[in-house]
Structure 1
C-alpha cells in the first residue's frame, strides 16, 4: 500500500470550507477510482492559519499514476479546494507502507 501525503492551509476565519469540500466532493470522486483504499483528513492550528493534512491510501503506484497522471509528484487540486485554501503544496510525498498495526 502507498500513502500519498498533501497539505493545504486555510484562514482561521474559514475553517469548515475545505473539510466540507473534502467530504462532499473529493472523497466521493476518489471512491470511484480503482486502487483507492481510503483517506484521512487531519488539521492543526498554526499561528495565523489552519493546516490540513490529507493522507490518501492507494493499492499501488500504478493506481496513483492512473489518478494523478505521469507527474505523480504533482498535487491534484480541484478548483473547489483552491477556492477554500490560502495556499497548498504543489508537490506530494509518497510513502510505501511497510507495517500496519
Structure 2
C-alpha cells in the first residue's frame, strides 16, 4: 500500500473559495476512485491560513496511476481549482503501519 501526500497553498484571500471546492468537488472525486482505501483532507488550522493537505492510502501504484495518469509524480490539479492554487507538492510513501478502525 502507498501513501500519497498532497500539500498546497492557495493564493491570498482564496482559502474560503478553495475550501468549498475541495470539500464539495475534489474530495468526493478522490473518494470515488477504485483502489483508494482511505483519504483525509485538512484545512488551515493556525499558522498558515492558506495551506491545505490531503493524505490518501492507495492499494497499489497501478491505482494511483489510474487516478493521476502518466504524470502521477505530480499533483493532479482539476481545472476548477487551478487559478486558486499558488503552489502544490506531492509525495509518496510506502505504508509502514497503521492505527485506527
TM-score by length of 2: 0.80
Matches within 5 A, 1:36-75: 36-42=36-42, 43-44=44-45, 45-46=47-48, 50-75=50-75
The match for 1:16 is 16
The match for 2:95 is 97
Q: What are the superposed Cα offsets for residues 51-88 of structure 1, whole Å, 9 maximum, x if unpaired?
A: 11221221111100111112320111011221322x12
Question: 1:26 and 2:23 equivalent?
Answer: no
Structure 2 CA distance for aligned equivalents of residues 31 and 66 of structure 1: 14
List gaps (5 residues or longer) in structure 1.
none
Q: Could you tell which deviates more after superposition, 60-69 or 5-14?
A: 5-14
SS in 1 for 2:15: coil
SS in 2 for 1:71: coil
List gaps (5 residues or longer) in structure 2.
none
Q: What is the root-mean-square deviation in Å for CA atoms of aligned residues?
A: 1.9
Where do 4+ consecutive residues of structure 1 move more than 6 Å?
none
